[in-house]
Amino acid sequence: MLVLGLLLATPWLAHNVRQYGWRDPLALAAHDRATVCPPEDGAGCQPRTADWIAEKGLADLLERGAVLTFQSFWGVFGWMGVFLGTAKGVPIYGALALSSLLALAGLLPVLRRWRRWPERLQAQSLILALHLAVTAGGFLWYNLTFVQHQGRYLLPALLPLALAYCAGLRGAVGAVAGRLGLSAFRARGLGNLGLLVHSAALATLAWLSLRSYIIPGLGGHPGPGG
């Protein structure tokens, strides 16, 4: 996996060395010079985290980071300026937060049984967990310098996130069915049915987002951090 990743990245790394010098193969210093907010103009650029904390405080940074990262992971369109609203009076982000908490509640009992999983499945889950940790670590590391609470930076870890989410939802629905006295077979069936219903709901949300938010917002203009 590492060798394949290096092979894919080699042309880009070689370009950066030619363009920015051997001290900056990842173009991080060049990126900082291009995006940092100049003192006289704070529009259309990326504010530094230290400046944000000095002006608005750490609590504001953490609250904004948690809320905006969650919202933009699921859907904030345009130049981070077109937010989802309500569907039939139900706040869309609220419903997504509820389903995420439900998936987390269903995932925890599954993870507690990790030592009883087959060895191959344990190894696969560790690789996925490492993938998620590296992606989340890169996102947090970047935000130590710049304020960029954009959920799209977590999309490289979409595979482990989606698998964990689905396992958690299925486990939660199955657990409720079991508590209602249904057999293990029927509980698993209801868990699978819950995943199908949720998938249909997400497909509906994608269609609603395109029709009601993305297309109407195509005429927007870039904003800060866009």
Q: Could you give the angle at the alpha carbon of 202 between the alpha carbons of 94 and 147, nearest 5°?
A: 55
The whole-model pTM stands at: 0.82
Under a CB-based contact definition with an 8 Å cutoff, are residues 138 and 153 in contact?
A: yes
Instruction: Quote the CA–CA distance of 133 and 125 in Å, as a whole number.
Output: 12
pLDDT in tens, 153-166: 999 999 999 999 99
Which domain covers residue 148, as residue numbers?
47-214
Is residue 35 situated within a structural domain?
A: no
pLDDT score of 179? 83
Q: Which residues of the chain have pLDDT under 70?
A: 37-44, 219-226
Is residue 111 situated within a structural domain?
A: yes
pLDDT in tens, 68-77: 999 999 999 9
Number of structural domains (the chain) is 1
Give the DSSP letter string of 87-118: ETTEEHHHHHHHHHHHHHHHHHHHHHTGGGS-
Is residue 42 situated within a structural domain?
A: no
